Amino acid sequence: MAFFSDLKVRLATNYLRTGQVIAYPTEAVYGLGCDPLNEQAVLRLLQLKQRAMNKGLILIAADFSQLKPFVAYDEQMLARILPTWPGAVTWVMPVQTWVPDWLTGSHRSLAVRVTAHPFASALCQRFNAAIISTSANPSHKPPAKTPLQVRHYFAQQPKIAVSALGEQKKPSAIYDAMTGGRLR
């Protein structure tokens, strides 16, 4: 994993705090992200990605405490989920009643992951909260694996935090937290 500077993390965090959409490295591909509680930022991200709002989004975090406010869980779910984190495993969990539709889409659940990627984790730590993580590509195009591909897809937006990708070959596996069944 390549070294990255704290300056890059601070700049990306400032972009998040000012409602901007960023592209950043994850375990396998570049992700698009923003503050999940900033509706305007989320709507810009969905517009960039050409993604329908009813599909829902993924949140990543540096640790489970950053996801707790969003999700509803029991001890059985935690016993299934926590051993897989940090890592490239995403879990679809029931949400708290306050979680906005722009995150859940037409579902009453949310996909969440505690990332193992050093840059993404440092970003969530510095932001002091979970952030959105969806692949950096327009819908129906392959995910971007380089900053150049991100720029090709999106021209002048989003801001790009350049660092090395993780070593995963494919985007994270997605499982249902209630049943343990694999969804993707």
Distance CA 75, CA 64 (A): 14
- The reported pLDDT for the residue numbered 45 is 96
- List domains and CATH numbers for the chain: 6-176 (3.90.870.10)
Burial call 45-68: b when 16+ CB within 10 Å, e when fewer: bbebbebebeebbbbbbbebebbe
- The reported pLDDT for the residue numbered 2 is 46
pLDDT in tens, the chain (184 residues): 445 678 899 999 999 999 999 999 999 999 999 999 999 999 999 999 999 999 999 999 999 999 999 999 999 999 999 999 999 999 999 999 999 999 999 999 999 999 999 999 999 999 999 999 999 999 999 999 999 999 999 987 788 877 777 887 777 899 999 999 999 8
Tokens of 22: 């960023």
- The reported pLDDT for the residue numbered 184 is 86
Nearest to 174, CA basis, from 95, 94, 89, 117: 89
Q: For CA atoms 9, 83, 87, 72, give the dihedral sign.
A: negative
Distance CA 132, CA 61 (A): 9
